[in-house]
């Protein structure tokens, strides 16, 4: 069974600092990895999808890397803003379904 772990569980930074969120998974036979953002009481918003053959994806201030062989992904958020405060979830796809980590709750202080 795929196990996904996210470290740290919570993170608080001053505005402008770069964020580094880590995700690890136990079974490297994944098809893709997706990073999501969840605001309190809301659904999930897809941020980035990295296919298993890719090593990174970028969108604006967000960059995600994937090292499939070691079972790791990192999400970098540059120059954080208070609007980046949310819970960030990592999910890996195998057999069509997503297995999720518990998330990292980020607070960006103004």
Partner 1 sequence: GAGVSQSPSNKVTEKGKDVELRCDPISGHTALYWYRQSLGQGLEFLIYFQGNSAPDKSGLPSDRFSAERTGGSVSTLTIQRTQQEDSAVYLCASTLTRDRASEQYFGPGTRLTVT
Site residues, partner 1 (CB under 8 A) = 31-32, 34, 36, 42-46, 49, 51, 89, 91, 93, 95-103
| Residue whose CB is less far from partner 1, 80 or 104 | 104
Least Cβ distance, residue 23 to partner 1 (angstroms): 13
Residue with smaller CB distance to partner 1, 50 or 77:
50
Q: Which is nearer to partner 1, 17 or 93 (CB)?
A: 93
Secondary structure in 3-state letters for the chain: CCCEEEECCEEEEECCCCEEEEEEECCCCCCEEEEEEECCCCCEEEEEEEECCCCEEEECCEEEEEECCCCEEEEEECCCCHHHCEEEEEEEEECCEEEECCCEEEEEEC
Q: How far is the CB of 29 from partner 1 (least distance, A)?
A: 12
């Amino acid at each position: 069974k795929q196990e996904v772990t996210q470290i740290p569980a919570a993170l608080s930074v001053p505005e402008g600092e770069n964020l580094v969120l880590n995700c690890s998974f136990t079974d490297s036979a994944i098809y893709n990895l997706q990073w999501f953002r969840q605001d309190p009481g809301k659904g999930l918003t897809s941020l980035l999808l990295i296919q298993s053959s890719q090593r990174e994806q970028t969108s604006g201030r967000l960059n995600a890397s994937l090292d499939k062989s070691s079972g790791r992904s990192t999400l970098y958020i540059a120059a954080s803003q208070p609007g980046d405060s949310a819970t960030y979830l990592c999910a890996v796809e195998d057999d069509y379904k997503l297995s999720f980590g518990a998330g990292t709750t980020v607070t960006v202080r103004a």
